[in-house]
């Protein structure tokens, strides 16, 4: 049902400080800037840095992951060497974890097939949920498929246009936490049907190019018509 993660919004206290972190350490360039938001582009996803002075807010302590080339680990290890990082080897890939100035846990993972040192997209997003079973059912209704369950049965990994992890409240690798009131957007062939699938009882807000709903765990999801 979904074909792409179109945007991910992070709540930040100070736009200048957040902008500097992402431009200096992660080599991202703003594509739009205003008094409330700075927008950076990573592959097909707009990463939105947003001050908390309106709704929807950006997510709090969001854990999400950027994809880079399979051979780019040492490059990113050097680029992030001035910051406290946590390294993790998954066997087929390696990741570095770093906290941004607003306590979002940013992962850089060597999962992209492309031969590049650049960040080429967002391949993972973690949401905190209250009832794991109910949340899994909601996102399966959007076409996500379960690919892994944590050993303690308190997290589930699903796969769709990117990987989505649903966590009951907990600390993960690098003490990361699942995001609270995350604002994310997806491209789909039928925005109204996607909204109905994930939040059948929620009010639907019309937005430019699609619709927006707030699902049962308080995450704000926008569905826009995919480009033909």
Domains of the chain plus CATH, in order, are: 2-125+177-225 (3.10.180.10)
What pTM was computed for the model? 0.96
Give the closest residue to 123 by CA, choosing from 215, 28, 42.
Answer: 42
Q: Give me the tens of pLDDT residue by residue for the chain, a chain 228 residues long.
A: 899 999 999 999 999 999 999 999 999 999 999 999 999 999 999 999 999 999 999 999 999 999 999 999 999 999 999 999 999 999 989 999 999 999 999 999 999 988 999 999 999 999 999 999 999 999 999 999 999 997 777 999 999 999 999 999 999 999 999 999 999 999 999 999 999 999 999 999 999 999 999 999 999 999 999 875
**Alpha carbons 202 and 216: distance in angstroms, whole number:** 8
pLDDT score, position 118: 97
Sequence-separated contacts (24+) of 76-81 with Cβ below 8 Å: 76/108, 76/117, 79/25, 79/27, 80/25, 80/108
pLDDT score, position 104: 98
Name the strand (E) or helix (H) holding 139: helix 132-140
**Alpha carbons 207 and 203: distance in angstroms, whole number:** 13
Residue 48 phi, psi (nearest 5) = -105, 120
pLDDT score, position 228: 58
The number of beta carbons lying within 10 Å of the beta carbon of residue 2 is 22
Which residue in this structure is represented by tokens 């990463």?
Answer: 47
Give the closest residue to 69 by CA, choosing from 120, 123, 116.
Answer: 116
């Amino acid at each position: 049902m979904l074909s792409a993660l179109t945007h991910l919004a992070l709540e930040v206290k100070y736009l200048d400080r957040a902008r500097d972190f992402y431009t200096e350490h992660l080599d991202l360039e703003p594509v739009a800037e205003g008094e409330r938001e700075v927008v950076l582009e990573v592959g097909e996803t707009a990463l939105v840095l947003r001050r908390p002075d309106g709704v929807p807010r950006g997510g709090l302590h969001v854990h999400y992951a950027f994809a880079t080339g399979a051979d780019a680990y040492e490059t990113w290890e050097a680029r992030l060497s001035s910051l406290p990082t946590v390294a993790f080897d998954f066997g087929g890939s390696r990741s570095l974890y770093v906290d941004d100035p607003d306590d979002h846990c940013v992962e850089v993972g060597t999962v992209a097939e492309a031969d590049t040192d650049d960040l080429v997209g967002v391949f993972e997003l973690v949401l905190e949920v209250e009832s794991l079973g109910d949340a899994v059912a909601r996102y399966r209704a959007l076409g996500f498929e379960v690919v892994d369950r944590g050993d303690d049965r308190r997290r589930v990994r699903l796969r769709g246009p990117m990987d989505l992890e649903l966590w009951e409240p907990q600390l993960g690798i690098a003490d990361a936490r699942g995001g609270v009131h995350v604002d994310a957007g997806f491209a789909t062939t039928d925005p109204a049907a996607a909204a109905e699938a994930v939040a059948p009882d929620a009010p639907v807000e019309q937005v430019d190019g699609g619709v927006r709903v707030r699902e049962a765990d308080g995450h704000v999801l926008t569905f826009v018509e995919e480009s033909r």
